[in-house]
Structure 1
Amino acid sequence: MQTTIDMQTKQLGNSDLHLTPIGFGAWAIGGGGWEFGWGHQEDQESIAAIHRALDLGVNWIDTAAIYGLGHSEDVVSRALKGRSQPYVFTKCSMIWDEKGKIGRSLKADSLRREVEDSLRRLQIEAIDLYQIHWPNPDADLEEGWSTLADLQTEGKVRYIGVSNFSVEQTKRIQKIAPITSLQPPYSLVRREIEADVLPFCQENNIGVIVYSPMQSGLLAGSMTADRIAHMPDDDWRKRNPQFQEPRLSRNLKLVELLKQIGQQSDHSAGEVAIAWTLNHPAVTAAIVGGRNAQQVEGIIGAANYRLSEQELSAIETFLQQNP
């Protein structure tokens, strides 16, 4: 059984938070039964996954109020009872009603309700990083960001960041208060942020924590067309274009290359995929989900894994030849 891994930490933007290269992503452990769920999930397995990540040296957890409609935050708080606290990050702006219908709000009173609910569910004094989950509604970005800046002044949150924002949206709110971090999707099959988002963050000392570096499990090395076909109906991935033809065959072909590269140094395809995102100088760290302890052990090696120039070149060649 693996013991604690000594990981080099990296400072997150303008904060005093020093993050391990990998953080525990708590989206999937929200479970099924909601619009962006991953199907049924056993809470005990989720808690074991979090414990394993922390035991191996991971020092931050990223969740969101919307994951499982509050359930993910509940599970995180249960997992952290009686343990030394990692940094806890969560997100706001996606809300739901009693029927589970999801809405979006960046109004001050709504965000204030959200932060109190998250603090209560997480059972912590202050949230280490509080993030606007999506820039919707766009017209209310300034009100939303001003509110987060107020919550920071009041000590309810330590640092504030955004997720899924464009450069233009980031520039708009930057005038109100400094942005500690941006959380965008980034993986071998989603590279849009390389053009403008990553250079902008580098120039402005905005930390970048990327999500879905394995494209929600697609690049982990264990995904097959048959497995996707048998996913439960409340697993959002079943409807995602990357998990369907014609993209699926190309993506699974990419996984074969990642497996070949990983085999040379005893790393999984998923670890190669994560290490590839961490190779970009603008990226501070990557959010990696795990639904059980075994999954966590299968990806932890990415934290200290550095791809060689030759390996990076082989991946780049594949991507260019298979757009």
Structure 2
Amino acid sequence: MKILAIESSCDEFSLSIIDNGKILTNVISSQIDQHKEFGGVVPELAARLHLQNMYWVIKQAIAESQINTDEIDYIVYTAKPGLIGSLIVGKVVAETIALYLDKPIIGLDHIEGHIFGAAIDHEFIYPVLAMVVSGGHTQIEIVHSPSQFEIVGATNDDAIGECYDKVARVLGLDYPGGPIIDKLAQQGNSQTYQLPVPKDDISYDFSYSGLKTAAINLIHNLNQKSEPIILVDFAASFQLAAVTAIEHKLERAIQNYNPKTLTAAGGVSANSQIQKVILELGQKYNINNTFVPKSEYCTDNAAMMAKLAYEKFK
């Protein structure tokens, strides 16, 4: 079974082909350099760049896969959630390919794809407890099967990735700021600055607007007092507060749902401290099937959508 998948939900346009669970190609056109000058993704620009880059992505992916396009059995694409203009471009490209090849086409969920991105080099044993962390989402999901997803907790406002990027911008760091803060945090003292653990309650829900506000206010206060900000220490203190909320809530979810698999998904799952928390919790609760996705499958990519489709159809 060969599946061609397209992912275009935000600022990456990607095409992947999977053959009975094996990824043959996963070509990604990233727009980070174009959006960097604006400090974040500009939706209209993202959609226009998808139109500009889609031709070479398709051409390169087909060449790398070394298959005849007539062999493809299904066409899938990201239908939701995402930037509406970017989603429309991906849908139209997928519909055009499906019409040309006369193959069935199916729209899939972006977040479900992220979760199965972690399973590209692993196998899920159900139920799966997945910690979804990205620029737009922070949620805990129980996966009972490739077609049964249960959200048990989600963010009430800012997502963790959005919080990282906005704090990084105020610190004067480049976009995307999340990976930069993570790198700095590994060199700093997390006890230097006091920041609140966001929504540290017994629920499974998250809220990062308070931590964002507290961090930005602290930066402004230090600047007003002409006190130098020790970047590595500030990054470490911020990251400790942000990830502690995940650690506390995820541990309670493990105790309540007794998963057979523990994993993380989404762009922020590449964060070193989040990966450390996932692996340590898996060891603490003897969840042998604990793993985190490879870095190339953390951010948006079509391989994760291809894997999701394969598991659903299989």
TM superposition score normalised by structure 2: 0.31
Q: Which structure has the larger Rg over C-alpha atoms?
A: 2
The structure richer in helix per residue is: 2
TM superposition score normalised by structure 1: 0.30
